[in-house]
Structure 1
Amino acid sequence: MTLTREALAELVDGLAGLPYGGEAVDQRTHALQAGWFAAQHGGDDELVLAATLHDIGRAQTVRDEWPDLPHERSGAEFARRHLSERAAWIIAQHVPAKRYLVATDAVYHDHLSPASVASLIRQGGPMTVEEVAEFEAHPNAQEAVLVRRWDDDAKDPNGPVLQTDEVLAAFDRFLAAR
Protein backbone atom coordinates (compact mmCIF):
# COMPACT_ATOMS: atom_id res chain seq x y z
CA MET A 1 0.00 0.00 0.00
CA THR A 2 1.36 3.39 -1.01
CA LEU A 3 1.21 6.28 1.43
CA THR A 4 -0.81 9.12 -0.08
CA ARG A 5 -0.48 12.74 0.91
CA GLU A 6 -4.05 12.58 2.26
CA ALA A 7 -3.20 9.56 4.41
CA LEU A 8 -0.05 11.31 5.66
CA ALA A 9 -2.05 14.42 6.57
CA GLU A 10 -4.61 12.28 8.42
CA LEU A 11 -1.84 10.43 10.24
CA VAL A 12 -0.12 13.64 11.40
CA ASP A 13 -3.37 15.41 12.24
CA GLY A 14 -4.55 12.29 14.07
CA LEU A 15 -1.77 12.86 16.60
CA ALA A 16 -3.61 15.96 17.89
CA GLY A 17 -4.69 15.49 21.47
CA LEU A 18 -2.58 12.37 22.02
CA PRO A 19 -0.62 12.85 25.25
CA TYR A 20 3.13 12.95 24.98
CA GLY A 21 4.35 11.19 28.11
CA GLY A 22 3.73 13.96 30.63
CA GLU A 23 5.13 16.72 28.42
CA ALA A 24 3.35 20.06 27.89
CA VAL A 25 2.60 19.33 24.21
CA ASP A 26 0.56 16.69 22.43
CA GLN A 27 2.03 14.27 19.90
CA ARG A 28 1.04 16.42 16.89
CA THR A 29 2.66 19.59 18.22
CA HIS A 30 5.74 17.61 19.19
CA ALA A 31 6.01 16.07 15.71
CA LEU A 32 5.51 19.38 13.91
CA GLN A 33 8.02 21.17 16.16
CA ALA A 34 10.64 18.51 15.49
CA GLY A 35 9.95 18.91 11.77
CA TRP A 36 10.26 22.69 12.10
CA PHE A 37 13.68 22.31 13.73
CA ALA A 38 14.78 20.03 10.89
CA ALA A 39 13.60 22.52 8.27
CA GLN A 40 15.26 25.43 10.09
CA HIS A 41 18.48 23.46 10.25
CA GLY A 42 18.38 23.07 6.45
CA GLY A 43 17.58 19.37 6.51
CA ASP A 44 16.65 17.77 3.22
CA ASP A 45 13.07 16.62 2.72
CA GLU A 46 13.84 13.07 3.86
CA LEU A 47 15.34 14.35 7.13
CA VAL A 48 12.42 16.73 7.67
CA LEU A 49 10.04 13.80 7.23
CA ALA A 50 12.09 11.58 9.56
CA ALA A 51 12.12 14.31 12.22
CA THR A 52 8.39 14.93 11.86
CA LEU A 53 7.57 11.23 11.95
CA HIS A 54 10.14 10.13 14.55
CA ASP A 55 7.36 9.19 17.01
CA ILE A 56 4.81 7.98 14.44
CA GLY A 57 5.00 4.59 16.08
CA ARG A 58 2.73 6.07 18.76
CA ALA A 59 -0.08 6.66 16.22
CA GLN A 60 -2.89 4.14 16.69
CA THR A 61 -2.83 2.85 13.10
CA VAL A 62 0.92 2.24 13.29
CA ARG A 63 0.66 0.63 16.74
CA ASP A 64 -2.10 -1.62 15.40
CA GLU A 65 0.12 -2.80 12.55
CA TRP A 66 3.17 -3.52 14.74
CA PRO A 67 1.68 -4.03 18.23
CA ASP A 68 4.65 -5.86 19.73
CA LEU A 69 7.30 -3.29 18.81
CA PRO A 70 8.40 -0.22 20.77
CA HIS A 71 7.40 3.05 19.12
CA GLU A 72 10.81 3.72 17.56
CA ARG A 73 10.85 0.31 15.86
CA SER A 74 7.23 0.40 14.67
CA GLY A 75 7.86 3.92 13.38
CA ALA A 76 10.93 2.63 11.56
CA GLU A 77 8.89 -0.16 9.98
CA PHE A 78 6.34 2.42 8.84
CA ALA A 79 9.12 4.59 7.35
CA ARG A 80 10.79 1.58 5.70
CA ARG A 81 7.51 0.72 4.01
CA HIS A 82 6.50 4.26 3.01
CA LEU A 83 9.66 6.40 2.86
CA SER A 84 13.19 4.98 2.83
CA GLU A 85 15.76 2.92 4.65
CA ARG A 86 17.59 6.11 5.70
CA ALA A 87 14.45 7.58 7.30
CA ALA A 88 13.71 4.22 8.93
CA TRP A 89 17.18 4.00 10.47
CA ILE A 90 17.05 7.57 11.79
CA ILE A 91 13.62 6.97 13.34
CA ALA A 92 14.73 3.65 14.84
CA GLN A 93 17.81 5.29 16.32
CA HIS A 94 16.28 8.38 17.94
CA VAL A 95 15.98 6.49 21.24
CA PRO A 96 19.49 4.99 21.11
CA ALA A 97 20.73 8.49 20.18
CA LYS A 98 19.55 9.69 23.61
CA ARG A 99 21.57 6.92 25.22
CA TYR A 100 24.51 7.89 23.00
CA LEU A 101 24.33 11.55 23.96
CA VAL A 102 24.10 10.77 27.69
CA ALA A 103 27.27 8.69 27.29
CA THR A 104 29.22 11.19 25.19
CA ASP A 105 28.03 14.71 26.06
CA ALA A 106 28.68 15.73 29.68
CA VAL A 107 25.93 18.39 29.74
CA TYR A 108 23.28 16.61 27.67
CA HIS A 109 21.61 14.85 30.63
CA ASP A 110 20.88 18.23 32.25
CA HIS A 111 18.85 19.23 29.18
CA LEU A 112 16.45 16.27 29.45
CA SER A 113 12.93 16.74 30.74
CA PRO A 114 11.91 14.73 33.82
CA ALA A 115 9.83 12.40 31.61
CA SER A 116 12.82 11.84 29.32
CA VAL A 117 15.09 11.08 32.28
CA ALA A 118 12.57 8.51 33.51
CA SER A 119 12.33 6.86 30.09
CA LEU A 120 16.14 6.80 29.79
CA ILE A 121 16.27 4.30 32.63
CA ARG A 122 13.76 2.01 30.85
CA GLN A 123 15.72 2.42 27.60
CA GLY A 124 18.94 1.09 29.09
CA GLY A 125 20.75 4.19 30.38
CA PRO A 126 23.95 5.48 28.81
CA MET A 127 25.53 3.45 26.00
CA THR A 128 28.58 1.37 26.71
CA VAL A 129 31.87 2.19 24.98
CA GLU A 130 31.18 -0.64 22.52
CA GLU A 131 27.66 0.62 21.78
CA VAL A 132 29.00 4.14 21.24
CA ALA A 133 31.54 2.88 18.70
CA GLU A 134 28.90 0.83 16.85
CA PHE A 135 26.47 3.76 16.78
CA GLU A 136 29.10 6.22 15.55
CA ALA A 137 30.12 3.85 12.75
CA HIS A 138 26.78 4.24 10.96
CA PRO A 139 26.77 6.85 8.17
CA ASN A 140 23.51 8.39 9.47
CA ALA A 141 24.50 8.52 13.14
CA GLN A 142 24.85 12.29 13.26
CA GLU A 143 21.43 12.73 11.66
CA ALA A 144 19.91 10.51 14.34
CA VAL A 145 21.65 12.71 16.94
CA LEU A 146 20.16 15.82 15.32
CA VAL A 147 16.67 14.29 15.38
CA ARG A 148 17.23 13.38 19.04
CA ARG A 149 18.19 16.95 19.91
CA TRP A 150 15.18 18.30 17.99
CA ASP A 151 13.04 15.72 19.81
CA ASP A 152 14.30 17.08 23.13
CA ASP A 153 13.60 20.67 22.09
CA ALA A 154 10.16 20.01 20.58
CA LYS A 155 8.24 20.29 23.83
CA ASP A 156 7.21 23.96 23.90
CA PRO A 157 3.42 24.50 23.73
CA ASN A 158 4.05 27.99 22.35
CA GLY A 159 6.94 27.05 20.08
CA PRO A 160 7.02 27.20 16.29
CA VAL A 161 5.68 24.29 14.26
CA LEU A 162 5.90 23.13 10.69
CA GLN A 163 2.49 23.41 9.06
CA THR A 164 0.89 20.24 7.71
CA ASP A 165 1.01 21.67 4.18
CA GLU A 166 4.79 22.08 4.60
CA VAL A 167 5.07 18.43 5.63
CA LEU A 168 3.05 17.45 2.57
CA ALA A 169 5.23 19.62 0.30
CA ALA A 170 8.34 17.90 1.68
CA PHE A 171 6.64 14.54 1.07
CA ASP A 172 5.78 15.51 -2.52
CA ARG A 173 9.36 16.65 -3.21
CA PHE A 174 10.76 13.52 -1.58
CA LEU A 175 8.57 11.27 -3.75
CA ALA A 176 9.43 13.23 -6.89
CA ALA A 177 13.16 12.87 -6.21
CA ARG A 178 13.06 9.07 -5.73
Structure 2
Amino acid sequence: MLSRDELHDLFEGLAGLPYGGEAVDQRTHALQAAAHAVAAGADDELVLAAAFHDVGRARQVAERHRGMPHEQAGAAFARDHLTERSAWAIEQHVAAKRYLVTVDPAYHDALSPVSVRSLRVQGGPMTPEEAAAFESHEWSADAIALRRWDDDAKDPQGPVLAMADLVSAYQRVMAHVTPE
Protein backbone atom coordinates (compact mmCIF):
# COMPACT_ATOMS: atom_id res chain seq x y z
CA MET A 1 0.00 0.00 0.00
CA LEU A 2 1.25 3.47 -0.84
CA SER A 3 1.63 5.91 2.03
CA ARG A 4 0.00 9.32 2.00
CA ASP A 5 3.43 10.84 1.28
CA GLU A 6 4.08 8.42 -1.60
CA LEU A 7 0.72 9.35 -3.15
CA HIS A 8 1.48 13.05 -2.79
CA ASP A 9 4.97 12.60 -4.25
CA LEU A 10 3.65 10.59 -7.18
CA PHE A 11 1.08 13.24 -8.12
CA GLU A 12 3.42 16.15 -7.41
CA GLY A 13 5.81 14.49 -9.87
CA LEU A 14 3.13 14.93 -12.54
CA ALA A 15 2.87 18.69 -11.94
CA GLY A 16 4.33 20.60 -14.85
CA LEU A 17 4.75 17.44 -16.92
CA PRO A 18 3.35 18.25 -20.37
CA TYR A 19 0.27 16.41 -21.52
CA GLY A 20 1.00 15.99 -25.21
CA GLY A 21 0.14 19.53 -26.26
CA GLU A 22 -3.07 19.81 -24.25
CA ALA A 23 -3.75 22.94 -22.15
CA VAL A 24 -3.25 21.10 -18.83
CA ASP A 25 -0.32 19.27 -17.27
CA GLN A 26 -0.39 15.60 -16.29
CA ARG A 27 -1.28 16.30 -12.64
CA THR A 28 -4.22 18.56 -13.49
CA HIS A 29 -5.40 16.07 -16.08
CA ALA A 30 -5.29 13.18 -13.60
CA LEU A 31 -7.06 15.03 -10.79
CA GLN A 32 -9.59 16.48 -13.22
CA ALA A 33 -10.44 13.01 -14.56
CA ALA A 34 -10.93 11.89 -10.95
CA ALA A 35 -13.17 14.89 -10.23
CA HIS A 36 -15.32 13.96 -13.24
CA ALA A 37 -15.56 10.40 -11.91
CA VAL A 38 -16.73 11.67 -8.51
CA ALA A 39 -19.26 14.00 -10.17
CA ALA A 40 -20.61 11.03 -12.14
CA GLY A 41 -21.12 9.07 -8.91
CA ALA A 42 -18.37 6.54 -9.61
CA ASP A 43 -17.24 4.23 -6.84
CA ASP A 44 -13.79 4.60 -5.29
CA GLU A 45 -12.16 1.97 -7.54
CA LEU A 46 -13.14 3.95 -10.63
CA VAL A 47 -12.18 7.26 -9.06
CA LEU A 48 -8.74 5.77 -8.51
CA ALA A 49 -8.63 4.42 -12.06
CA ALA A 50 -9.46 7.91 -13.32
CA ALA A 51 -6.76 9.52 -11.17
CA PHE A 52 -4.13 6.93 -12.08
CA HIS A 53 -5.06 6.29 -15.73
CA ASP A 54 -1.92 7.98 -17.08
CA VAL A 55 0.42 7.10 -14.20
CA GLY A 56 2.47 5.12 -16.72
CA ARG A 57 3.83 8.50 -17.82
CA ALA A 58 5.14 9.35 -14.35
CA ARG A 59 8.94 9.27 -14.36
CA GLN A 60 9.34 6.55 -11.72
CA VAL A 61 6.68 4.33 -13.32
CA ALA A 62 7.94 4.81 -16.87
CA GLU A 63 11.51 4.03 -15.78
CA ARG A 64 10.42 0.83 -14.05
CA HIS A 65 8.42 -0.31 -17.10
CA ARG A 66 10.64 0.89 -19.93
CA GLY A 67 9.36 0.34 -23.43
CA MET A 68 5.75 -0.28 -22.37
CA PRO A 69 2.96 1.93 -23.67
CA HIS A 70 1.72 4.20 -20.87
CA GLU A 71 -1.53 2.29 -20.40
CA GLN A 72 0.34 -1.00 -19.88
CA ALA A 73 2.91 0.57 -17.54
CA GLY A 74 0.06 2.20 -15.62
CA ALA A 75 -1.80 -1.09 -15.37
CA ALA A 76 1.35 -2.84 -14.09
CA PHE A 77 1.71 -0.15 -11.44
CA ALA A 78 -1.99 -0.43 -10.56
CA ARG A 79 -1.78 -4.21 -10.19
CA ASP A 80 0.87 -3.60 -7.52
CA HIS A 81 -0.91 -0.72 -5.76
CA LEU A 82 -4.65 -0.72 -6.60
CA THR A 83 -7.22 -3.36 -7.55
CA GLU A 84 -7.48 -5.58 -10.62
CA ARG A 85 -10.62 -3.73 -11.71
CA SER A 86 -8.83 -0.37 -11.54
CA ALA A 87 -5.82 -1.84 -13.35
CA TRP A 88 -8.01 -3.28 -16.12
CA ALA A 89 -9.76 0.06 -16.69
CA ILE A 90 -6.39 1.83 -16.82
CA GLU A 91 -5.02 -0.74 -19.26
CA GLN A 92 -8.09 -0.47 -21.48
CA HIS A 93 -8.65 3.30 -21.55
CA VAL A 94 -6.85 3.57 -24.91
CA ALA A 95 -8.80 0.61 -26.29
CA ALA A 96 -11.97 2.32 -25.07
CA LYS A 97 -11.15 5.32 -27.27
CA ARG A 98 -10.68 3.02 -30.25
CA TYR A 99 -13.97 1.29 -29.35
CA LEU A 100 -15.93 4.55 -29.04
CA VAL A 101 -14.63 5.80 -32.39
CA THR A 102 -15.85 2.53 -33.89
CA VAL A 103 -19.36 2.50 -32.41
CA ASP A 104 -20.12 6.23 -32.12
CA PRO A 105 -19.24 8.36 -35.17
CA ALA A 106 -19.94 11.58 -33.23
CA TYR A 107 -17.34 10.61 -30.65
CA HIS A 108 -14.46 11.12 -33.09
CA ASP A 109 -15.64 14.62 -33.88
CA ALA A 110 -15.52 15.56 -30.17
CA LEU A 111 -11.89 14.45 -29.69
CA SER A 112 -9.22 17.09 -29.20
CA PRO A 113 -6.72 17.46 -32.07
CA VAL A 114 -4.04 15.86 -29.87
CA SER A 115 -6.32 12.88 -29.18
CA VAL A 116 -7.10 12.48 -32.89
CA ARG A 117 -3.35 12.34 -33.65
CA SER A 118 -2.70 9.80 -30.90
CA LEU A 119 -5.63 7.67 -32.12
CA ARG A 120 -3.75 7.01 -35.36
CA VAL A 121 -0.69 5.81 -33.42
CA GLN A 122 -2.90 3.72 -31.13
CA GLY A 123 -4.36 1.72 -34.01
CA GLY A 124 -7.39 3.74 -35.12
CA PRO A 125 -10.90 2.32 -34.96
CA MET A 126 -11.34 -1.28 -33.84
CA THR A 127 -12.29 -4.06 -36.17
CA PRO A 128 -15.76 -5.52 -35.57
CA GLU A 129 -14.10 -8.51 -33.89
CA GLU A 130 -12.04 -6.30 -31.57
CA ALA A 131 -15.11 -4.24 -30.68
CA ALA A 132 -17.14 -7.36 -29.89
CA ALA A 133 -14.35 -8.74 -27.69
CA PHE A 134 -13.96 -5.42 -25.88
CA GLU A 135 -17.65 -4.93 -25.16
CA SER A 136 -18.04 -8.51 -23.95
CA HIS A 137 -15.72 -7.91 -20.97
CA GLU A 138 -17.52 -7.46 -17.65
CA TRP A 139 -15.70 -4.18 -16.98
CA SER A 140 -15.96 -2.63 -20.46
CA ALA A 141 -18.44 0.00 -19.20
CA ASP A 142 -15.85 1.04 -16.60
CA ALA A 143 -13.19 1.60 -19.26
CA ILE A 144 -15.66 3.54 -21.42
CA ALA A 145 -16.62 5.78 -18.49
CA LEU A 146 -12.92 6.32 -17.71
CA ARG A 147 -12.29 7.22 -21.34
CA ARG A 148 -15.00 9.86 -21.30
CA TRP A 149 -13.63 11.38 -18.05
CA ASP A 150 -10.18 11.33 -19.66
CA ASP A 151 -11.52 13.21 -22.68
CA ASP A 152 -13.22 15.81 -20.47
CA ALA A 153 -10.14 16.38 -18.28
CA LYS A 154 -8.35 18.87 -20.50
CA ASP A 155 -9.81 22.17 -19.27
CA PRO A 156 -7.38 24.49 -17.45
CA GLN A 157 -10.38 25.93 -15.57
CA GLY A 158 -12.01 22.57 -14.86
CA PRO A 159 -12.55 21.01 -11.45
CA VAL A 160 -9.83 18.92 -9.82
CA LEU A 161 -10.13 16.38 -7.04
CA ALA A 162 -8.39 17.49 -3.87
CA MET A 163 -5.45 15.28 -2.90
CA ALA A 164 -7.04 14.69 0.51
CA ASP A 165 -10.09 13.22 -1.24
CA LEU A 166 -7.89 11.04 -3.45
CA VAL A 167 -5.97 9.78 -0.43
CA SER A 168 -9.26 8.99 1.35
CA ALA A 169 -10.58 7.05 -1.65
CA TYR A 170 -7.29 5.13 -1.84
CA GLN A 171 -7.41 4.27 1.84
CA ARG A 172 -11.04 3.10 1.62
CA VAL A 173 -10.29 0.82 -1.33
CA MET A 174 -7.10 -0.58 0.14
CA ALA A 175 -8.83 -1.31 3.45
CA HIS A 176 -10.85 -3.95 1.57
CA VAL A 177 -7.97 -5.49 -0.40
CA THR A 178 -6.55 -8.72 0.94
CA PRO A 179 -2.75 -8.76 0.86
CA GLU A 180 -1.30 -11.57 -1.23
Q: Hey, what does 1:143 align to over in structure 2? A: 142
* 1:89-145: CA deviation from partner (whole Å, max 9, x where unpaired): 100000000000000012000110000000000000000000000000111101100
What is the aligned partner in structure 2 of residue 38 from structure 1? Answer: 37
Aligned partners of 1:115 and 1:171: how far apart in 2? Answer: 30
Q: Work out whether residues 46 and 174 of structure 1, in 8 Å CA contact, stay in contact via their aligned partners in 2.
A: yes
Structure 1 residue 68 displacement after superposition: 1.3
Ranges in structure 2 where 5+ consecutive residues have no aligned partner: none
Q: 1:65 matched to which residue of 2?
A: 64
**Number of the residue aligned with 1:85:** 84
Aligned length: 177
Partner of 2:21: 22
8 Å contact 1:99–1:125 — kept in the other structure?
Answer: yes
In the alignment, what sits opposite 1:164? 163
Aligned to 1:123: 122
Q: Which runs of 4+ in 1 moved over 3 A?
A: none
CA RMSD of aligned residues (A): 0.7
Determine helix, strand or coil for the equivalent of 1:107: helix
CA shift, 1:164, in A, is 0.7
2:175 is paired with a residue whose SS is: helix
1:38-57 aligned at under 5 Å gives the runs 38-57=37-56
Contact 1:32–1:52 (CA under 8 A) maintained in structure 2: yes
What does the per-residue CA deviation read over 1:3-34, in whole Å, with 9 as the maximum and x for residues that have no partner? 22211111012100000000000000000000
- Give the drift of 1:60: 0.1
Secondary structure of residue in 2 paired with 1:93: helix
Q: Post-superposition shift, 1:175?
A: 1.3
Q: TM-score, normalised by structure 2?
A: 0.97
Partner of 1:113: 112
2:94 alignment partner in structure 1 = 95
Kindly provide the amino acid, as one letter, of the partner of residue 111 in structure 2: L
- Structure 1 unmatched ranges of 5 or more: none
- Give the Cα separation in 2 of the matches to 1:172 and 1:90: 19
